[in-house]
Amino acid sequence: MELVIGTRKWSSWSMRPWLVLTRAGAPFRETLIELRQENNISGEAIRLHSPSGLVPVLKADGVTVWDSLAICEWAAERWPGLWPRDATARALARSAAAEMHSGFGSLRRECPMDLAAEPRAVELSEATHKDIRRIVALWTELLDRFGGPFLAGEGWSIADAFYTPVATRFRTYGVRLSDFGDDGRAGEYAARLLEQPEFLAWEAAAK
């Protein structure tokens, strides 16, 4: 099984399935493609692996699976525990992951993931403020409902993988969640994501 990923310090979409497969203990080899190379070298290298021309891509059992969420769902069918067992928790965890997958475009544009950057405060647009307030509300609601320490309860899930790059953005760009309605729980959750051994391994390899 092969997972094709982009540059670790930048590719948040690559990080997500890597965290999931690593957490599951799945045996996979990693192929790294350096992004942002001149003369479209990166794009040409990616197209050798990916029908969409994007990373990440998983190759397993003679099948190519592209897109972060699709790869994570593929993994969840093979390694139990990546989604909550409880049907309600599972549905809401999936909803949270899907919202991250399709939304928060302003935050992503203004605060791209960069694990090599020195933390710094930046001026953010109202659209990004709205994204952050929504994330704080979503995290707090799920932590309240299921009791934490993760979004769907005691067990780390794919939903937590999807928000780990968001936690790095908050750290890099000096976002104080208390300015966006956090009573402390969302900030603690963000810190918890960045303490997970899988993330620490990814971050160490990015430097």
| Confidence at 199, pLDDT banded by 50, 70, 90 | very high
Question: 180: which DSSP letter?
Answer: G
Q: What predicted TM-score, i.e. pTM, was given to this entire model?
A: 0.94
| DSSP character string of 39-99 | GGHHHHHHHTT-TTS-S-EEEETTEEEESHHHHHHHHHTTSTTSS-SSHHHHHHHHHHHHH
Superfamily of domain 2-80: Glutaredoxin (3.40.30.10)
Q: Residue 17's pLDDT is what? A: 98
- Tell me the per-residue pLDDT of 58-68, one tens digit each, with 9 for 90 and over: 999 999 999 99
Q: Are strands 57-60 and 63-66 parallel, antiparallel or unpaired?
A: antiparallel
CATH code of the domain occupying 87-202:
1.20.1050.10
Cite the residue boundaries of each domain of the chain with CATH code 1.20.1050.10.
87-202
Cite the residue boundaries of each domain of the chain with CATH code 3.40.30.10.
2-80
What is the separation of C-alpha 85 from the centre of its chain, rounded to a whole number of angstroms? 21
pLDDT > 90 in the chain, percent: 88
- Using the predicted structure, report yes or no on whether residue 120 has a pLDDT greater than 60: yes
Cα separation, 175 vs 67, whole angstroms: 28
Q: Residue 89's pLDDT is what? A: 98
Least confident piece of the model among 48-52, 109-113, 184-188: 48-52
- Using the predicted structure, report yes or no on whether residue 51 has a pLDDT greater than 90: no
